[in-house]
Amino acid sequence: MQGEVLDFYLSQGYYRMHQDLFTCRFLPIDEGLYTVHWLRLDLGRVSFGTEQRRLLRQNKRFTAVVRPFRLTAEYEELYARYRSTVTFDAPETVEAFLLAGAQHNVFTTQVIELRDGERLIAAGIFDSGEQSLAGIMNFYDPTYRKHSLGKYLMLLKIIYALQEEKAYYYPGYVVHNYPKFDYKLYPCPAATEVYDCASGYWLPFSWDTVAAQSAELLKDWPPKFGEEAEAE
């Protein structure tokens, strides 16, 4: 996939799934129907705050290397340890997440390897376009949980994107009234934009904007299918 093609589809609220691109507006959870809101960071406006700078300082003893992604047993072993401790549904393997049986990766995929000495402690996988970088997956050694390596890898991806003079970083989506995905706002809320699927424009992120978009998306659904069902 050519870089400018990935740029275009990311800008339209699409994202990678295996070897395809997809988008969605709704996420069914239990008995509720929640709305999905795609995010990106305008890298020209990114400025890390006190918390982000502190995390960068705390983890600077680890060695970070960016390299082209090649699936290895080392990645799969690390991911298996990570997956054994998470409380959400996750694909069984890195291969299942990225390739799903495909023999060729159509994306330009790279990985940030994070090591403590020789030990691989985290991996952050991302795709690159001409002007964009999309964060695809992060996983880490559970014994390093206190180092917030998932958030740290997000910061490292943004730093790399800035070094490569990219314009946008796409972390995925948040879900209205479902805070499990809110960590994607961690790097820099002030530089974060949210996609308005009705107009096709990216708007400055705010929860008020998300709430208005959610109400518009759900207005034609019966109440029993809406997010309010979760509060009953």
User: For each of the chain's 232 residues, which pLDDT tens digit applies?
Assistant: 889 999 999 999 999 999 999 999 999 988 889 999 999 999 999 999 999 999 999 999 999 999 999 999 999 999 999 999 987 788 999 999 999 999 999 999 999 999 999 999 999 999 999 999 999 999 999 999 999 999 999 999 999 999 999 999 999 999 999 999 999 999 999 999 999 999 999 999 999 999 999 999 999 877 655 544 444 3
The angle formed by the CA atoms of residues 14, 52 and 117, to the nearest 5 degrees, is 95
Task: Give the integer Cα–Cα distance in Å for 154 and 175.
Answer: 19
Task: Answer whether 0.75 is exceeded by the pTM.
Answer: yes
Domains, the chain = 3-231 (3.40.630)
Query: What does each C-alpha distance from 151 to 63, 66, 103, 147, 157 come to in angstroms?
Result: 16, 17, 31, 9, 10
Lookup: tokens for 141: 């050694």
Lookup: tokens for 130: 């001409």
> Would the CA dihedral through 99, 4, 159, 171 be positive or negative?
negative
What is the chain's alpha carbon radius of gyration, rounded to the nearest angstrom? Answer: 18
pLDDT value at residue 82? 96
The angle formed by the CA atoms of residues 86, 87 and 89, to the nearest 5 degrees, is 90
pLDDT value at residue 31? 81
| Whether 78 contacts 38, CB under 8 Å | no
Phi, psi of 181, rounded to the nearest 5 degrees: -100, 5
